[in-house]
Structures are given as structure tokens and as C-alpha cells.
């Protein structure tokens, strides 16, 4: 009996948390919700796609640590500040996380 995978690619996925800068400069979840805003701002991305995301800015390292202390579940996620088209990657509510067209 032959059993074949149903997916074309069995690449591992990574949880990515979308972060935005609020008007006051504070880091906030991408989704503006009363409850579970951080969880609703998460998506699963192929590892190869997630690796293309820009590194977390060193200038915001302390702010990232404060976020993880306040919301411990974030330590298992790749945080990404969604800021238009940065590093060849973009996010859209329609397309999700994707490589920007060149």
C-alpha cells in the first residue's frame, strides 16, 4: 500500500506575531480588539518565508523584552513590526504574509 502526503511541501511553520506602532509610539498588536488582540495578531508562516522577515530592531530590544514579560506566550513567536514594505516582505489582510513584488 502506498501512502502519499497530502501537502506538496512538509516544511515546518513558525508563528509570526504582527506588531504595529501606535500613535503614541508604543508597540501594539496588529489587531485592535478588546480581548485576545495578541493571539488574533498571529499567523502561521512557512519557515522559509518567516526567515525573510527583517530582524527585530536592536533599538527596540528592551521594548520586546517588556512585551514578552507582560505576554509570556509571545516568547514562542517571531515578532514582526509590520511597516509597509520592509525587507521585501509585506502583510495584507487579503494576501497574508507575502514577498513584495519587485
**CA 10/CA 91 separation, integer angstroms:** 23
Q: Quick check: 97 and 51 in contact, CB under 8 A?
A: no
pTM above 0.85, yes or no: no
**Segment 18-67, tens digit of pLDDT:** 999 888 888 999 999 999 999 999 999 888 888 888 888 898 899 999 99
Cα distances (angstroms) measured from residue 7 to each of 2, 43, 46: 15, 19, 13
- Please report, for the chain, the start and end positions of each structural domain, with discontinuous segments joined by +: 13-99
Amino acid at each position: 500500500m502506498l501512502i502519499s502526503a497530502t501537502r506538496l511541501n512538509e516544511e515546518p511553520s513558525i508563528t509570526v506575531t504582527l506588531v504595529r506602532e501606535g500613535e503614541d509610539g508604543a508597540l501594539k498588536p496588529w489587531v485592535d480588539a478588546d480581548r485576545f488582540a495578541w493571539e488574533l495578531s498571529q499567523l502561521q508562516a512557512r519557515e522559509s518565508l518567516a526567515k525573510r522577515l527583517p530582524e527585530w530592531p536592536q533599538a527596540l530590544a528592551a521594548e520586546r523584552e517588556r512585551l514578552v514579560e507582560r505576554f509570556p506566550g509571545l516568547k514562542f513567536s517571531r515578532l514582526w513590526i509590520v511597516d509597509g514594505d520592509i525587507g521585501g516582505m509585506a502583510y495584507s489582510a487579503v494576501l497574508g504574509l507575502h514577498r513584495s513584488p519587485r
